[in-house]
Amino acid sequence: MKVLRLYGNGDLRFSDEKPPTPRKGEELLRVAVVGICGSDIHWFSQAGIGDAQLKRPLVLGHEFAAITAADGRLVGVDPGDSCGKCDFCQRGYPNLCPEVRFAGHGEVDGALREMMCWPKKCLFDLPEELNAEDGVMLEPLGVAVHAIDLAHFSPNMRVGIFGCGPIGLLIIQLAALSGAQEIVATDRLLHRVEAAESLGADLALQVDESGNLPDLEKWKSEQGLDVVFETAGDNAAVENAIWAVKPGGRVVLVGIPEQDRVSFSASAARRKGLNIVLCRRSRNAYPRAISLSMSGKLDLRSLITHRFPFSQAQEAFQSASKRVGIKTIIEF
């Protein structure tokens, strides 16, 4: 079978390998579609994320849908295989499990291969209404759902989403669905600002190359925003979030910074008495994500703007690294 492995910065290579054999509790899968996530781009361009560095050739890919080899079922796949036994798992926080195996991260191979094995407990049958591309979007949607949970969201909130990649655009839609009074969105790229506006943002602003927002005083009320989601992986967006949120408000950090550092004005955050929380992947979100996908109230499919065959995966990563479009997928 064909396998794509990352050997170093920008160094993806195809190889022929034996199909895997499922272990107890696993299912053999034929990979159908894989999405390229911002974290995959970190691995591709930097050969790691923070303290997780490339130690051996790694198969990337954690957003994926597959077909079960045994009986042909189309499934969405949760990439996080938690232990189920530790205190975090027992308390319902499998995303914080210290023993978690996460597809396409560290030393655990992901989905950019024709076949793979993954635990049955992580497979979710997709209803007939959903296709393989919808299955790919379940993972970023799950992250967006978890971020909304972390925000302690309630109707009539004034909300900011600073960074309009796929997860930011999903949070915009979830915020609107949850009854947000006002949604303010920002991004460096004009086409993503326009997407935010079309998907529910009341005000969508383009920041400059340094991340500075124009004419802030024209839209920021004295009270500020109730909650701001930083989804850009950019320190300027973090600073903007601290500035824009109201005293006692909440900032949810979702983005992955390029330099593994986040900083902000301590005096501003302290004076406001802010609640700052970080989003770690998703938390038991797949059933909710499937239900939301079937509701017809979210637009998932317009977020997928670029499609490449598996044979052109290198080109797909180069395109995604340039932030062309919104979501890039690789089809098998």
Residues 63 and 163 in one domain: no
pLDDT at 258: 83
Q: For residue range 80-123, what is the model confidence (pLDDT) as tens digits?
A: 999 999 999 999 999 999 999 999 999 999 999 999 999 999 99
Report residue 249: phi and psi, to 5°: -80, -175
Residues 321 and 227 in one domain: no
Residues 148 and 121 in one domain: no
Q: Is there a domain that residue 154 lies in?
A: yes
pLDDT at 213: 76
Residues 74 and 155 in one domain: no
Residues 147 and 274 in one domain: yes
Whether 254 contacts 143, CB under 8 Å: yes
Burial class (CB in 10 A: 0-12, 13-18, 19+), 194: middle
| Half-sphere exposure for 25 (CA within 13 Å, toward CB) | 5
Q: Is there a domain that residue 182 lies in?
A: yes
Q: What is the mean predicted confidence (pLDDT) over 151-156? A: 94
pLDDT at 221: 55
Whether 98 contacts 75, CB under 8 Å: no
User: How far is residue 252's CA from residue 230's CA, in Å, rounded to a whole number?
Assistant: 6
User: How far is residue 116's CA from residue 22's CA, in Å, rounded to a whole number?
Assistant: 8
Whether 265 contacts 239, CB under 8 Å: yes
Whether 6 contacts 60, CB under 8 Å: yes
Q: For residue range 180-237, what is the model confidence (pLDDT) as tens digits?
A: 999 999 999 999 999 999 999 999 999 988 877 766 565 555 578 999 999 999 999 9
pLDDT at 215: 63
**DSSP assignment letter at 301:** G
pLDDT over threshold 80, residue 310:
yes
Where residue 92 falls (left for φ over 0; alpha for ψ -120 to 50; beta otherwise) is: left
> What tokens were used for 318?
């180069």
CATH of the domain at 97: 3.90.180.10
Residues 100 and 222 in one domain: no
Residues 91 and 187 in one domain: no
Residues 100 and 180 in one domain: no
Q: For residue range 244-273, what is the model confidence (pLDDT) as tens digits?
A: 999 999 999 999 988 888 988 899 999 999
Q: Which domain holds residue 263?
A: 143-278
Q: Is there a domain that residue 292 lies in?
A: no
- Provide the percentage of residues in the chain whose pLDDT is more than 90: 91
Q: Is there a domain that residue 202 lies in?
A: yes
> What tokens were used for 186?
């920002």
For helices 132-150 and 166-177, the axis angle rounded to 10 degrees is: 70
> What tokens were used for 153?
């969201």
Residues 56 and 156 in one domain: no
Q: Is there a domain that residue 180 lies in?
A: yes
What is the identity of the amino acid at 301?
R
135 closest CA partner among 24, 29, 39, 12? 29
- Kindly give, in sequence order, each residue whose CB lies less than 8 Å from that of residue 128, ignoring residues fewer than 6 positions away: none
The three-state secondary structure class of 251 is strand
Residues 18 and 87 in one domain: yes
pLDDT at 217: 61
Residues 225 and 308 in one domain: no
C-alpha dihedral (247, 219, 198, 32), degrees to nearest 10: -40
Lowest mean pLDDT among 41-45, 132-136, 208-212, 283-287: 208-212
Total domain count, the chain: 2
- Kindly give, in sequence order, each residue whose CB lies less than 8 Å from that of residue 297, ignoring residues fewer than 6 positions away: 173, 177
- Provide the percentage of residues in the chain whose pLDDT is more than 70: 97
User: How far is residue 1's CA from residue 59's CA, in Å, rounded to a whole number?
Assistant: 13
Q: What is the mean predicted confidence (pLDDT) over 142-149? A: 98
Q: Is there a domain that residue 41 lies in?
A: yes
Q: What is the mean predicted confidence (pLDDT) over 297-305? A: 96
The three-state secondary structure class of 170 is helix
Q: For residue range 27-54, what is the model confidence (pLDDT) as tens digits?
A: 999 999 999 999 999 999 999 998 899 9
User: How far is residue 239's CA from residue 263's CA, in Å, rounded to a whole number?
Assistant: 8
pLDDT at 220: 57
Q: Is there a domain that residue 286 lies in?
A: no
CATH of the domain at 236: 3.40.50.720
Residues 147 and 272 in one domain: yes
Q: What is the mean predicted confidence (pLDDT) over 15-34? A: 97
pLDDT at 27: 98
The three-state secondary structure class of 66 is strand
**Which residues are registered as beta bridge partners of 93?**
none
Q: Is there a domain that residue 96 lies in?
A: yes
